[in-house]
Amino acid sequence: MVPQGAPVLDLACGGGRHTRLFAEAGHPVTAVDIDLGNLGDLAGHPRVEPIQADLEGGDPFFLRGPLPGRTFGGVVVTNYLHRPLLEDLVAAVAPGGVLIYETFAEGNETLGGRVTNPEPPFSGSAPSPSRPRPGKNGAYARDFYLTSVS
């Protein structure tokens, strides 16, 4: 799915499960988390760029800091949802790249999922389904459900 050798952004990387997978497959990986202590040996890996960041601290992470203007062949986010970042994540996907986003869904709480916001994912101030809002790189959000990235 991710173009061979393309850079990957692993957002809220935690212990680095996906960081390791992509780095070992030859991708340069930018691993972002509030606590990089869980990365262990990956912190010194030659293809891993660890970045400590509080993604919910109010600082516009994608406007300032180390990532403005950068795009990635793969953007990976799992077991994490902070709705205000979604538009920036889509913008960070390079043409031909992919956004891999696994978040909480209704029923996950029965499997040990940690849902802290009762709102459905990507709800809120979304555009009307009849008037999709074009995003960068050909992405369209319909009620904040991503339908394509090219």
Residue 29: the pLDDT is: 97
- pTM for this predicted structure: 0.71
What is the overall mean pLDDT for the chain? 75
pLDDT grade, residue 85 (50/70/90)? confident
Phi, psi dihedral angles at 133 (to 5 degrees): -100, 115
Closest by Cα among 48, 58, 53 to 32: 53
Q: How far is residue 68's CA from residue 82's CA, in Å, rounded to a whole number?
A: 18
Domain locations in the chain as residue ranges: 8-124
Do 103 and 81 meet the contact criterion of CB atoms below 8 Å apart?
Answer: yes
Give which of 92, 116, 86 is closest to 104, Cα–Cα: 116
pLDDT tens-digit map of 36-80: 999 999 989 999 999 988 888 755 555 556 677 889 999 999 988
Q: Measured between alpha carbons, how far is 150 from 138 in angstroms, rounded to an integer?
A: 6
CB 143: neighbour CB atoms within 10 A? 13
Domain at 8-124, CATH class:
alpha beta
